[in-house]
Structures are given as structure tokens and as C-alpha cells.
């Protein structure tokens, strides 16, 4: 039996800021490296991660894939961080993000706009606790075929100023244009994020997505391959929009 998993994610922003209120989470080991800073090259992102003690040479599986830009490489690397060591990721980066919440407002240092969330810090605290008890899982390997499918869809979303998973026949039809898959297939869409690391964090946090389906896909140990398409969506001008495809097994045509 084969399964298809689909989720999408959007953010709401406003140009205001208030002081930070700290939830009750241990932040003694959180990162001060600001790895979510916009505009980091893959080299600079990896260098900051090394300062936090990550084995970047192993985790940066897209480093030498010529068909990705730096942000696309970075979002794959960010996926592999949380899958390789969920507890460390929680302690360094989820705790850091929790510290930036003030009730329902989220403000990342150096970013002029802030996010207005629906649930505030609650899902981030929930994520922290979940990751502290999550076992490590396999790394995601880049797939050119899955990337072609992801780019096909992100182009469709941008050109039509729309959102969702159903364009061009849906996920299965898009992926099967470029190869064959087996067991399980998934797709996440994240809109308007200021960096790749930020996109990964907020898919994991999953504000107002009450089944936390983005998080479930990212932490699904049955996925082995990943493809990423990135563009700037006219409906979400605060940053990049990412379409991310996942598969257990994929053979390119």
C-alpha cells in the first residue's frame, strides 16, 4: 500500500514589536549563532552550525548538488539537523525560537517585521518536549527528480498567485512525471519565510495546524529522499516560498 501526505503552511506578519516574555523552557544551551539569519550562503550556514558542534560534512547532503541554490541546500541541511539529533536541535534552536515569542508575537533579532501567530509559544514548547524524546533517524538525500516536481509546483503557485497542493494534477501526478516512487510520498509547502532555517522551524512548530502534519512529515523516519523548489510568491512578499517533496524510494526516469 502506498500513502501520500500533504501539508501547507503560511505566516502572517506586521511591522511592530513588543518585549519578549520567556516561557518555562530550559534555554541554558540554546544557540547564540543566529543560524536563521537571512541571506546566509550554504558555506556560512554550515560554518555557524559547526560552531554549534554539528558534523556538517555528514549532514550537508546537498552541498555538491549543482541544481540547488544556497537556500535550497540550507533547507535540506536544516532537515538533516533535526533528524540526526532531535534533542540537540531542540536545545539549540527550538529553545532559541521560544525566547523570541511575546504572547502571540514572534520577533527574530534583526528582522524589522514580526510574525503574528495564532497559538503563541505553545506549539514551540510542545515541539521542544517532543524532540527531547524523539529518536534519531536517517538523513535525507537530494533527488533531482523530486526537485523537478517541487519546482514545477512552486512555479505554478507563483504564476497563478495561488496556494495548495492540487495544481497540475496533484502531488502524485507531478512526481510521476519525473520518476517512480514507492511506499510513501509527502509534500510540505511553506510561504514567506525569511530564511531556510526559519522555514524549517516554523514547519516544525506548525502554528494553528492542529494535527502538526508538517512536523509529522519532517520527522517521518520512512522518508529517505528530498527535493526542493523555491521562489518568491506575490501573495507572501516577506520571504521565500518553498515546495518540498519527500519519498521513501524514488527512481528518476
Place of cell 511591522: 15
- Residue 173 CB contacts under 8 Å (≥ 6 apart), including other chains: none
Task: Report d(CA 104, CA 120) in Å as an integer.
Answer: 4
pLDDT at 106: 96
Q: Say if CB 231 and CB 155 are below 8 A apart.
A: yes
Helix (H, G, I), strand (E, B) or coil at 171: helix
Q: What stretches of the chain show up as alpha helix (H) in DSSP?
A: 42-51, 56-59, 70-84, 86-89, 95-98, 122-131, 144-160, 171-176, 196-205, 213-218
Q: Do the bridges between strand 225-231 and strand 141-142 make them parallel or antiparallel, or are there none, so unpaired?
A: parallel
pLDDT tens digit sequence for 23-51: 467 778 899 899 999 999 999 999 999 99
Please tell me the least confidently modeled range out of 12-21, 81-90, 106-115, 176-185.
Answer: 12-21
pLDDT at 23: 44
Across residues 5-24, what is the average pLDDT?
A: 40
Q: Say if CB 131 and CB 123 are below 8 A apart.
A: no
DSSP 177-188: TTEEEEEEEEEE
pLDDT at 124: 97
Task: Report d(CA 140, CA 83) in Å as an integer.
Answer: 9
Task: Report d(CA 150, CA 122) in Å as an integer.
Answer: 31
Across residues 185-204, what is the average pLDDT?
A: 96
Task: Report d(CA 158, CA 164) in Å as an integer.
Answer: 11
Look over the chain and give the mean of its residue pLDDT values, rounded to a whole number: 90
Helix (H, G, I), strand (E, B) or coil at 50: helix
Please state the pTM of the whole predicted model: 0.91
Across residues 8-21, what is the average pLDDT?
A: 34
pLDDT tens digit sequence for 71-109: 999 999 999 999 999 999 999 999 999 999 999 999 999
Task: Report d(CA 155, CA 148) in Å as an integer.
Answer: 11
- Alpha carbon 181 to its chain centroid, in Å, reads 22
Count Cβ atoms below 10 Å from residue 199 Cβ, excluding itself. 30
The model's confidence at residue 159, banded by pLDDT at 50, 70 and 90, is very high
Amino acid at each position: 500500500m502506498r500513502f501520500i501526505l500533504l501539508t501547507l503552511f503560511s505566516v502572517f506578519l506586521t511591522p511592530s514589536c513588543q518585549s519578549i516574555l520567556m516561557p518555562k523552557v530550559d534555554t541554558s544551551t540554546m544557540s547564540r549563532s543566529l543560524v536563521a539569519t537571512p541571506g546566509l550562503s550554504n558555506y556560512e550556514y554550515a560554518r555557524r552550525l559547526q560552531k554549534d558542534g554539528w558534523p556538517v560534512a555528514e549532514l550537508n547532503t546537498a552541498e555538491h548538488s549543482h541544481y540547488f541554490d544556497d537556500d535550497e541546500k540550507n533547507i535540506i541541511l536544516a532537515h538533516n539537523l533535526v533528524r540526526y539529533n532531535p534533542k540537540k536541535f531542540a536545545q539549540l534552536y527550538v529553545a532559541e525560537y521560544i525566547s523570541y515569542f511575546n504572547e502571540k508575537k514572534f520577533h527574530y533579532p534583526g528582522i524589522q517585521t514580526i510574525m503574528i501567530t495564532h497559538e503563541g509559544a505553545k506549539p514551540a514548547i510542545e515541539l521542544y518536549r517532543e524532540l527531547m524524546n524523539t529518536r534519531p533517524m536517517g538523513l535525507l538525500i537530494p533527488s533531482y527528480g523530486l526537485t523537478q516536481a517541487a519546482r514545477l509546483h512552486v512555479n505554478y503557485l507563483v504564476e497563478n498567485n495561488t496556494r495548495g497542493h492540487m495544481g497540475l494534477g496533484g502531488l502524485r501526478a507531478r512526481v510521476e512525471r519525473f520518476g517512480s516512487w514507492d511506499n510513501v510520498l509527502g509534500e510540505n509547502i511553506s510561504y514567506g519565510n525569511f530564511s531556510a532555517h526559519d522555514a524549517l522551524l516554523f514547519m516544525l512548530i506548525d502554528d494553528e495546524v492542529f494535527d502538526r502534519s508538517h512536523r509529522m512529515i519532517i520527522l517521518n523516519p520512512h522518508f529517505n529522499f528530498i527535493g526542493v523548489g523555491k521562489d518568491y510568491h506575490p501573495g507572501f512578499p516577506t520571504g521565500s516560498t518553498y515546495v518540498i517533496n519527500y519519498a521513501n524510494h524514488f527512481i528518476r526516469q
